[in-house]
């Protein structure tokens, strides 16, 4: 079964139908998604700004990270769960949406950036914990994270404005490829 | 403790304020639809998708040349249509209806609906992003 076939099937499951036909649940889930992504990106941005040396310069980096972590983690979990539910409500239209795909790409890149930070940069933070402006590699990860989360939010908002809907043919082949328009009928 | 309570209180008020903003504006009218291209269709219902974030009513319209074109018309979320009286049962496939709205900017046979009119003259507003779609009382006129 193709991925698209799987998503088409997913939309026929009871939970997906309940969500996309719901009168209230979908609105509540999308509201939770927006509020919790604000919590997640908001608190992550504070750490990133500290890494850039732009805020709380007299507070040790480890202290900023330690205090923000529970909020960032809670925001991330709730954002991810509510986001997964929104995808579950309309799987195939999201899968065939260029901005959704861009958003997932940003999520992966931001994840790799965070992983590299925790693997290579943060373990040696003791060396520059009190520096008002951390070293270059820390500033780069902080700046990258800020940019990637911002791009992810923009792509997410753009999902509602699919300029390249598969029904809108003819379109350049590259657009059809990126959008996943496999046949003329999709 | 008191400061914590104040913080929690302010946070809760904030969340309720955000939640109170009607979560209808998935996308704006002007981004996808063209105010200068009003559409006035009549045809038989082929599919009714009462789904979030936008519902779609599909009708087969017979053109002047005799060719059948399937038009997709977007409405508000299911709760809005339900409130205005559109349910799966009220629009069975094959029902002949008129649809008023605005065509998509892309020129596809898609649009956003203002209201559905049954052949007996009953009008049901589609509660979406189109001007006037919330009902006659809320019609804002030309922006």
Instruction: List average pLDDT for each run of 10 residues in chain A, which is 186 residues long.
Output: 90 96 95 97 97 96 96 98 97 93 96 95 92 96 97 94 75 80 56
Q: Please say whether the beta carbons of A5 and A95 come within 8 A.
A: no
Domain locations in chain A as residue ranges = 3-179
Q: What is the pLDDT of residue A185?
A: 47
Q: Which residue of B has its CA nearest to A167?
A: B108
Q: What is the pLDDT of residue B141?
A: 53
Q: How far is B53 from chain A, CA to nearest CA, in Å?
A: 7
For residues A182 and B41, the model is more confident at B41
Question: CB A22 to CB B78 under 8 A?
Answer: yes
Helices A25-51 and A136-158, axial angle in degrees (round to 10): 160
Question: CB B23 to CB A167 under 8 A?
Answer: no
Mean pLDDT, residues B5-20: 70
Cβ contacts of A34 on chain B, cutoff 8 Å: 18
Q: Residue B13: pLDDT above 90?
A: no
In chain B, the DSSP E strands lie at 33-49, 55-62, 68-75, 96-104, 110-118, 123-125
Residue written as tokens 């509201």? A31
Q: What is the pLDDT of residue B108?
A: 86
Q: How far is B30 from chain A, CA to nearest CA, in Å?
A: 11
ipTM: 0.76
Among residues of chain B, what percentage have pLDDT more than 90?
Answer: 45
Q: Which residue of A has its CA nearest to B54?
A: A20
Whether this prediction's pTM lies above 0.95 is answered by no
- What are the structure tokens assigned to A180, written together? 């996943």
Question: CB A160 to CB B53 under 8 A?
Answer: yes
Q: Compute, in degrees rounded to 10, the torsion defined by CA atoms B48, A161, B124, B90.
A: 10
Question: CB A23 to CB B15 under 8 A?
Answer: no
> Nearest by CB to B31, which of A27, A34, A161?
A161
Q: What is the pLDDT of residue A144?
A: 97
Cβ contacts of B27 on chain A, cutoff 8 Å: 160-161
pLDDT band at B8 (very low <50, low <70, confident <90, very high): confident
> Nearest by CB to B27, which of A20, A34, A160?
A160
Tens digits of per-residue pLDDT, B61-116?
Answer: 998 889 999 999 999 999 988 988 888 788 999 999 999 999 998 888 999 999 99
Q: What is the pLDDT of residue B142?
A: 43
Q: Please say whether the beta carbons of B83 and B65 come within 8 A.
A: no
Q: Residue B24: pLDDT above 60?
A: no
Chain B contact for A18 (CB, 8 A cutoff) = no
Distances (CA, A) of B129 to A31, B80, B88, B90, B112: 19, 11, 21, 22, 7
Q: What is the pLDDT of residue B143?
A: 43
């Amino acid at each position: 079964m193709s991925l698209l076939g799987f998503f088409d099937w997913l939309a026929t499951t009871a939970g997906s139908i309940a969500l996309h036909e719901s009168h209230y649940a979908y609105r509540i889930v999308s509201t939770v998604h927006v509020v919790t992504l604000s919590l997640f990106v908001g608190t992550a941005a504070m750490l990133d700004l500290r890494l850039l040396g732009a805020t709380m310069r007299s507070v040790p980096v480890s202290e900023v990270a330690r205090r923000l972590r529970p909020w960032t983690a809670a925001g991330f979990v709730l954002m991810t769960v509510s986001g997964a539910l929104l995808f579950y409500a309309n799987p195939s239209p999201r899968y065939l949406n260029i901005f959704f795909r861009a958003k997932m790409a940003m999520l992966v890149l931001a994840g790799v950036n965070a992983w590299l930070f925790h693997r290579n940069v943060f373990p040696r933070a003791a060396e520059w914990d009190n520096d008002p402006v951390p070293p270059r590699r820390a500033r780069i990860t902080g700046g990258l994270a800020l940019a990637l989360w911002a791009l992810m939010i923009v792509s997410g908002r753009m999902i509602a404005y699919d300029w390249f809907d598969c029904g809108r043919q003819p379109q350049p082949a590259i657009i059809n490829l990126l959008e996943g328009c496999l046949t003329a009928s999709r | 403790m008191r400061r914590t309570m104040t913080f929690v209180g302010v946070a809760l008020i904030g969340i309720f304020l955000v939640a109170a903003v009607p979560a209808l504006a998935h996308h704006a009218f002007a981004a996808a639809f063209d105010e200068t291209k009003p559409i006035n269709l009549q045809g038989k219902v082929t599919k009714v998708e009462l789904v979030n974030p936008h519902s779609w009513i599909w009708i087969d319209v017979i053109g002047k040349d005799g060719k059948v074109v399937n038009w997709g018309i977007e409405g508000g979320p299911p709760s809005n249509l339900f409130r205005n009286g559109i349910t799966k049962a009220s629009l069975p496939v094959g029902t002949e209806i008129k649809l008023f709205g605005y065509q998509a900017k892309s020129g596809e046979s898609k649009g956003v609906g203002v209201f559905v009119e049954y052949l007996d003259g009953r009008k049901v507003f589609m509660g979406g992003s189109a001007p006037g779609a919330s009902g006659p009382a809320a019609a804002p006129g030309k922006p």
